[in-house]
């Protein structure tokens, strides 16, 4: 699944800039014959040339991955969902649940997001990261959707091994029972900042109400977690997208600004909802 379908991207670039292959090759500093070779054997393209091509397009204002997203959304079958998966490198072989960690948000599963930007943002610090666009067919599957609330907070804490001493508690058992027989889970994305907030709740520093409002302030959108191979078999990879350095830096900049704003919101939420709600020991007494 390493193929980027570069030939299609080259045609888009040429069309939008109204240039031919020779003009394109001149502007990115390679021989025209090299581009023709790429059309015959995409795997022969070097990392340096990939960077040259995609950085050139991005710096010219061409958002190839957003264009692909919009086209796939328009073509998406009714009832299906377009999703995005950021990879530190690339997907090796078939999609699999077993390659994931037990300590992810909901344990083992294949994780994808509803937002291209968020999915790309999470892997933009890795040098060889890339992005996948997929279409998910929900037919004949059992799913569950969660929101930013106490149940979701406790589930995240449980799967992150922060509630081991309460694993037999009736509340935890009841929450886990909701996931029995489920093929996929739709839930808010949790990043490192959210884990820190949840840790503050688990450590008894803030109440559940404070925690919930702090987490709402850092809301990153929803993710789809495929927890059965049956669900994963209904996920079709549509395109493997290259992430050039210029594009990754743009996501990192946005994330930095969003993080700064959300940190301010968290401070206000902690103060505004102080004294409201219950502490962890009161909930799991």
Please, what is the Cα angle at 97 between 96 and 101, to 5 degrees? 125
pLDDT per residue as tens digits for the range 71-117: 999 999 999 999 999 999 989 888 989 888 888 899 999 999 999 99
Q: How many residues does the chain have?
A: 285
The pTM score is 0.91
- pLDDT(2) > 60: no
- Cα separation, 189 vs 218, in Å, equals 10
- Please list, in sequence order, all residues whose beta carbon lies within 8 angstroms of the beta carbon of residue 148, skipping any fewer than 6 positions away: 188, 212, 215, 216, 219
Distance, in Å, from the CA atom of 152 to the CA atom of 159, rounded to the nearest integer, reads: 11
For 10, 88, 128, 176, 220, the CA distances from 131, given in Å and listed in that order, are 18, 9, 10, 31, 18
- Strands (DSSP E) found in 32-100: 81-87
What would the pLDDT profile of 211-221 be if each residue is shown by its tens digit? 988 888 777 78
Tokens found for residue 158:
């449980």
Determine the pLDDT at residue 1. 42
Provide mean pLDDT across the span 8-22.
94
Residue range 219-232: mean pLDDT, rounded? 91
- The CATH code belonging to domain 1-62 is 1.10.260
């Amino acid at each position: 699944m390493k193929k980027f379908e570069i030939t299609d991207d080259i045609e888009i670039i040429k069309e939008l800039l109204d240039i031919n292959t020779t003009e394109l090759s001149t502007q990115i500093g390679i021989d025209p014959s090299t581009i023709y070779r790429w059309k015959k054997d995409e795997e022969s393209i070097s990392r340096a040339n990939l960077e040259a091509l995609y950085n050139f397009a991005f710096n010219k204002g061409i958002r190839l991955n957003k264009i692909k997203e919009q086209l796939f959304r328009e073509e998406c079958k009714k009832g299906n969902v377009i999703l995005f998966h950021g990879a530190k490198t690339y997907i090796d072989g078939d999609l699999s649940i077993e390659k994931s960690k037990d300590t992810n948000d909901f344990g083992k599963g294949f994780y994808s997001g509803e937002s291209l930007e968020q999915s790309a943002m999470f892997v933009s610090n890795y040098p060889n990261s890339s992005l996948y666009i997929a279409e998910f067919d929900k037919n004949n599957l059992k799913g569950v959707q969660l929101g930013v609330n106490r149940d979701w907070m406790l589930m995240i804490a449980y799967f992150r091994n922060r509630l081991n001493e309460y694993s037999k508690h009736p509340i935890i058992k009841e929450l886990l029972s909701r996931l029995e027989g489920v093929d996929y889970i739709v839930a808010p994305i949790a990043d490192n900042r959210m884990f820190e907030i949840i840790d503050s709740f688990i450590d008894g520093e803030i109440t559940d109400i404070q925690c919930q409002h702090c987490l709402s302030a850092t809301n990153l959108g929803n993710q789809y977690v495929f927890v059965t191979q049956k669900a994963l078999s209904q996920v079709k990879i549509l395109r493997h997208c290259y992430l050039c350095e210029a594009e990754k830096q743009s996501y990192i900049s946005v994330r930095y600004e969003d993080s700064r704003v959300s940190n301010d919101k968290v401070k206000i939420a902690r103060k505004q909802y102080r004294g409201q709600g219950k502490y962890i020991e009161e909930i799991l007494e």
